[in-house]
Structures are given as C-alpha cells and as structure tokens.
Amino acid sequence: MTNVESPRRAPSLRERRLEVLRRTGAIEKGRNRLLLEKPTPAFWWILVIMSSFVLLGLVMVLSSSSVTSLHTGSSAWGMFSRQLIWVGVGAVAMWGMYRLPYENWKNFGLLSVSTGIVAFANMAVIAWGQVTNGAKAWLDIGPVRLQPSEFLKLATILFCANLLSKRHRSVAITSVVMWPMIIVLGITAGLCGLQRDYGSATIFAGFIIAMMFMASMPWRQLFFTGGIVVVVGLGVLQFAQRASERMLAFMNLEETKSDSGYQVYQALLSIANGGWGGTGIGTGTSKWGYVPLAYSDFIFSVIAEELGLFGTLMVLGGFLFLVLFGIQVALAASDMHGAFLAGGISAWFGVQAIVNIGGVVGVLPMTGLTLPFLSYGGSSMIASMAAVGLLLNVARYAKK
C-alpha cells in the first residue's frame, strides 16, 4: 500500500506576519512589535478596574459635591459636568498613549521635549501659580485650572524607565544609576516642595525608589537613597510649620480634632456612620460641610459612608488588583523598557492609593492627595488615564 502524505496545514495569519518580520529583521531590531492576537487577561482586568473606578468616581463626585455647589450658588451638576468632560479628555489621552508604540518614548527628542514642557509648567506654577489650601500647585490658563505635578509623575516614569532600561546592567555602579536617579528624585520632589505640595513629593519618592528596587539595585544603595529622603523630609517639616501640623495631626486626633486634625476626624465619623451596609448613595452626611473637600481628597470617606463595607472593599481590592495586574504586565513585558514603564505606573497608583486612604482613615499623615480615578480633579484624571493607556500599551505587545 502506498503511503499518502497528509496535506500540510496552511500557516496562520500570525505565523505569516512573524515570518515577514523575521525576514526583514524587524523583530531583531525592535521595530514593529507584534501585537498579541488576543489581549491577555491582565489587559482586560486593568481596563475593567479602571472603567469601574471612573464610573464610581463620577457617581460619588455628584453625590459629594451637589450640596457644596448649591451653597455657593452653582448648579448641583456643576462639578459632575466638569468631571465628565475631564473623563472624556482623559479617554482621548489614554487612547493616544495606547496607540503610540511605547518604544517611541526611547526617542531622545520626543522624551526631552515632553519632559521639558512639563518641567517648565511646574516652574511656571512656582512663579505664577494660585495658592489653594496652602499649596501653590495650580496654574490658571484661561478658564482651565491645571496641576502640572500630576503630569510630571508620568513624565518622570517615562524618563526613569528609559534610563533604567539602558543602564540596568550597571546598577552596582553608583555614578551610572544611583546618582542620576537621586538627581531626578531631587528635581521632581524639589519642584513639588517649592509648590508646597508635599504630598506629591512623597509620591515621587515612593515610585522612584520602587523603580530602583525593580532594577535590582544593591540594598545599601536603596537604604542610602531612602535615608536621604527621610532626612530631607524631616528637615522640610522643621521649616514648614503648617504642613508639619497638618501631616502629624493624625498622631493625636483627640487633641487636634478642632483644628489641624478636623478633616481626618470628621472623615472617620463619616466612615463609622456608614457601618456595614452604608447609608445609600446620596444620603451620606459628609457632604453637608462636615468633611471639607469630600469630593476630592476625602472621596474615600464618602464611598465608605454611602456604600459601606462593599464600597470599601471594592476600592481597596480594586487598587490591590490593579497593582498586581500591572506587575504581571511588567513581568511579561517584551523588553526591559516596557517592564520599567509598567512597574513604575503600578508603583505610582499603589503608593498614591496607600497614602491617600491611609491619610483619610488616620493611620498615615494627611497629604492632600487625590485618589486616582475617583477624586474630583481634571489633571489627576487625565494623567492617570493616560498612564493606564501606556500600561495597556505594554500589555498588548508579545514577548520576543
């Protein structure tokens, strides 16, 4: 009997694309990275968590700002409408960061121009910014008010990821990696310090040191960098009396609840009022003036009061899984540059969520930071959604 060979299977579209890229050398040269045929589960979960946070934030901003807006003679829908516009702008920024291949951020011209613009905006705030709640961190451009330090976070991650991806094999040489990173930390945190925005300075210190840890820097270098941050931070608190009183009020709320610790104390009362089941959306007491900035820095207390344990676990679990999936993206990234981008963004969201929620519940100093995706604020929303777009960009590409 004659053996008949079975017909060869026709190559799939993905296999044909891979072969073309190999023949042209595009894969070896790092150009035209191959998109995954199907996004990974981490990709979808990051998108779902962020979308859920944005929708929840819109509802909570409306609930927490309506009474305040009416008291000032504005429409009860005013802040909600503006937040909705910022979400739309943020969606455009997220799409742009997703569509632009992240390897383009290795381009010195694009990176330096973008970083330079953001740095100039932060210096402009120091010179001409408006003082609000003790911080000079906002810049008025016509009818629009921006907080450039939010965009500086993303620019700093782009810069540090580029630096570390090129020099991670030389982390033991202090002049090659450690000192450049300390200089970046000093410049960014220093700009925030000059704006009296000490909360943002804390976030920069947190995710920059986290990125240094991701680069497997020696422990002595990490401890040295952390020691510098602690010493400088203590020194700043010695001279910034108002900031010192506010940040340290959590250590003795009974004595400070009528002045510097008032916001945190009232936030704790609101959380306790919510109990297990919550009071229901729109029926909380915090928005009636008891908790200042309930729609912004203290949005977590509104969620805990009106949604109870369910809302609390949703927020805490959401940020926990957002960071975990971001780390998963970093570990599966196709190159070191993408890994540092994903790791830096994950560290940013994780550190800021911990500092904000910890301050609201009185276990950490209150620093006046927003809760990403949930708090009212255009700059925070746009920068955070753009960062998610970049994170999804890294998640969408296949390993070589």
DSSP letters, 147-199, are -HHHHHHHHHHHHHHHHHHHHGGGTT-TTTTHHHHHHHHHHHHHHHHHTT-HH
Residues 187 and 194: their CA atoms lie apart, in Å, by: 10
Asked if residue 309 belongs to a domain, the reply is: yes
Range of the domain at 43: 39-168+241-396
Asked if residue 360 belongs to a domain, the reply is: yes
Asked if residue 248 belongs to a domain, the reply is: yes
Q: How far is CA 144 from CA 147, 219, 368, in A?
A: 10, 44, 21
Residue 272 has pLDDT above 50, yes or no: yes
Q: How many domains does the chain have?
A: 1
- Shortest CA distance to 205 belongs to which of 191, 219, 220? 191
Least confident of 113-122, 142-151, 252-261: 252-261
Helices 378-396 and 78-99: crossing angle in degrees, nearest 10, is: 30
Asked if residue 91 belongs to a domain, the reply is: yes
What is the mean pLDDT of the segment spanning 196-217?
92
pLDDT band of residue 26 (cuts 50, 70, 90) is very low
User: Residues 267, 270, 271, 273: what is their CA dihedral angle, to the nearest 10 degrees?
Assistant: 160
Q: Encode pLDDT of 165-181 as tens digits.
A: 998 888 888 889 999 99
Asked if residue 317 belongs to a domain, the reply is: yes
Residues 335 and 166: their CA atoms lie apart, in Å, by: 11
- Shortest CA distance to 308 belongs to which of 286, 273, 276? 276
What pLDDT score does 241 carry? Answer: 59
What pLDDT score does 29 carry? Answer: 42
Least confident of 46-55, 124-133, 153-162, 226-235: 124-133
Q: Are 397 and 35 in contact (CB under 8 A)?
A: yes
Q: How far is CA 107 from CA 30, 31, 114, 262, 399, in A?
A: 13, 13, 11, 48, 21
pLDDT band of residue 16 (cuts 50, 70, 90) is low
Helices 378-396 and 336-360: crossing angle in degrees, nearest 10, is: 140
Token pair in block for residue 170: 């030389």
Q: Are 242 and 273 in contact (CB under 8 A)?
A: no
Residues 87 and 110: their CA atoms lie apart, in Å, by: 25
Of the ranges 27-31, 322-326, 356-360, the best mean pLDDT one: 322-326
What pLDDT score does 92 carry? Answer: 97
Asked if residue 264 belongs to a domain, the reply is: yes
> Edge-to-edge strand order for the sheet containing 130-132?
130-132, 135-141, 144-146
Q: Are 305 and 290 in contact (CB under 8 A)?
A: no
Asked if residue 262 belongs to a domain, the reply is: yes
Token pair in block for residue 188: 């960014």
Residue 71 has pLDDT above 60, yes or no: yes
Residues 49 and 47: their CA atoms lie apart, in Å, by: 6
Cβ neighbours for 253, distance < 8 A, ≥ 6 positions apart: 261, 264, 265, 268, 362
Residue 208 has pLDDT above 90, yes or no: yes
Asked if residue 355 belongs to a domain, the reply is: yes
Average pLDDT over all residues of the chain: 84
Structure-model confidence comparison of residues 76 and 340, the more confident one:
340
Cβ neighbours for 91, distance < 8 A, ≥ 6 positions apart: 385
Residues 175 and 172: their CA atoms lie apart, in Å, by: 9
Q: Encode pLDDT of 345-393 as tens digits.
A: 999 999 999 999 998 888 887 777 899 999 998 899 999 999 999 999 9
Helices 178-194 and 108-128: crossing angle in degrees, nearest 10, is: 30
